[in-house]
Amino acid sequence: MVFPKAKLARPLRTALWILLDAVLCNTAMILAQNFRFEMVVPAVFFQRYENLSLIMTAFCVLSLYLFGLYRNIWKFASVSSVLPILLGTLTGCLATYGYSLLNYAVTKPMNYTLLPRTVYMMHWLIFTAFVITSRYLYRIIKTYFVRQGAKGAVRRLMIVGAGWAGSNVIRDVKNGRYQNGQAVIVVDDNPDLAGSHLNGVKILMDTVSIPKYAADYAIDDIIIAIATPLGNMRNLIEICLSTGCRVRRVTSLEDVNRKNTQSDVRDLNISDLLGRSETDLNMTLTAAYFAGKTVLITGGGGSIGSELCRQVLTFQPKIVVLLDINENYLYNLYADLLSMYGSTLKDILKLRIGSVQDEARLDEIMKEHDFDVLLHAAAHKHVPLMEESPEEAVKNNVFGTHLTASCAIRHGIKRFVLISTDKAVNPTNVMGASKRAAEMVVSALGDTSKTDFVSVRFGNVLGSHGSVVPLFERQIRAGGPVTVTHPDIVRYFMTIPEAASLVLQAAVLAKGGELFVLDMGQPIRIRELAERMIQLYTAQGGASRVEIVYTGLRPGDKLYEELLTDDEHIQKTELDKIYVTQSDCITQAEMQEMLFKLKKCMESHGDMRACLRSFIPSFRIADEVNGRLKGVKA
């Protein structure tokens, strides 16, 4: 039988608590007198209690109200709830004793209300015990017996990690936060904890034995309660997923700090499985740099642009202006941010619709404010689509960058940051070649300008528009198959927040002319990514068996990506995960010649790939790089 979740209105619930406390207050006084007089209370003293009872009840109930006892949610009562109870009962009992003394002072030698001092002391102790017991008995009934009534729905939980995060999870489970969850065991690798209990839950050793413990204890859910991981958690996560249980984890301290929220439990996502260590980036310098600055972000509604906006807003800038051609992206982002910042957002964040190919619109926007920093994230990034429309890639990525950078120079913007890509290194597709040309444009303009021009180059970001991750997720949830282009294709991956944080840090380091390269970690095989995602979503209740189908490399795809050309040599910067190199640069005259020939090629609808190759010798046909693959293993 499942107990109905009937709820009393708050005024009625408060009235019932007041009535109960009034009864407990008087019961405590009767017991105190009985204890004082060894169960034979003289009639004169009982009469004095009766004379005092109404004012005593009023004092005690009023004191409990003033100390917030009728505003608490008692099914979540904890040790911290005891202090207001102690103070509330003590205040009420002292007020009662004070009234009795005052009444006696006025009416003596007659004594209508004053009782022996020991009676008042025992009254406070008994009344306090009654109030505490009533509250915690209510909590036990709400969080244990009611849940036991729905026994068939109880899910047995394994907590991995016996630190403060694990302790918090168990406390929340016992408080009913996880509804029908029941903490059964805790697993940890610390030998000092062997045989111990955490908040009453048994601790078992050795996380390698998690699959055995899951079977032995009939575990339904696993919660990884390690909020400060010391390194790669991929092996632990894969062990937990192998049990077939639903696996969740406590949010890392990095997530908590970035989102300004309390530590919470969330479902696993694919970034957990990629093995990137969750380093807490030191953003002190970045926060100091962007504080009070006026910032323009092109492509502000996209994956990277919107995350740059979110992070910059936390640094208390003067103004942030977002430029994007897609009004839906900007509208959705603004609605999301409005819930976080409220009405103050309209004074800081400005939305502008327009294209980086429209010079007049760019001029109009840059006249509005004296911008300190321009983060140029606007670009066409989808490789197969740009193979089909090479002229559009060049218009947006090359000429759009040139127009935006030229306007930035005219309007005296102090720093210009181009968001580039690893596909610009030895490109095999039009998108990559156009981004390499954009790097060359920025480098050439920076030679003679007071504006500091820099480029930041990194690989794929998880969950971005056009990323394989949301595609794989949709395919898995639909039951498959998951389509992978080639079993050996590898890519670098990074989370969107990490990429944006590193871009902002690189912007702070810039002095002009640098090409920053972000540490992307180890490349990941797309086949392995698909396998891990299937494992992840299967464990979370997805399809039981999902097939992987290899479709063959797409036009412009190469099997691997690179972050540097053979001529580029990186050096470490003062910040972790950011490296710097001086890219080969072209002169202003060479840049103008490149733009002139690209424009003529577009106007005549000529061979755009050949035109790009004439300026970018490293631009090669994908088949040459991939060894002229003739087919793909199915």
- Peptide bond before residue 481 is cis, with ω within 30 degrees of 0: yes
Give yes or no for a contact between 326 and 332, defined as CB atoms under 8 angstroms apart: no
The reported pTM is: 0.66
Domain ranges of the chain: 10-148, 151-268, 284-584
Assess if CATH 1.10.3720.10 describes domain 284-584. no
Which residue, 550, 552, 562, 561, is CA-closest to 629? 552
User: What pLDDT does 463 receive?
Assistant: 65
The residue to which tokens 């940051």 are assigned: 417
The CATH class, in words, for 151-268 is: alpha beta
CA 48, chain centre distance (Å)? 62
Q: How many CB atoms lie within 10 A of CB 499?
A: 25
Measured CA to CA, the distance from residue 392 to residue 414 in angstroms comes to 29
Measured CA to CA, the distance from residue 98 to residue 101 in angstroms comes to 5
Measured CA to CA, the distance from residue 584 to residue 442 in angstroms comes to 11
Same CATH fold assignment for domains 151-268 and 284-584:
yes
pLDDT along the chain (634 residues), means of 10: 49 87 94 91 91 93 89 60 87 94 90 91 94 82 56 78 87 76 90 86 91 90 78 79 85 47 67 60 84 95 92 94 94 90 89 96 95 95 91 96 96 94 88 93 88 88 71 83 86 81 89 82 80 74 73 79 64 78 80 95 92 89 61 40
Structure tokens at 282: 């030191």
DSSP state of 307: H
Structure tokens at 93: 């009992």
Cα pseudo-dihedral 23, 29, 35, 37, rounded to 10: -130
Measured CA to CA, the distance from residue 295 to residue 319 in angstroms comes to 6
Which residue, 175, 227, 220, is CA-closest to 539? 220
The residue to which tokens 């030229």 are assigned: 406
- Peptide bond before residue 109 is cis, with ω within 30 degrees of 0: yes
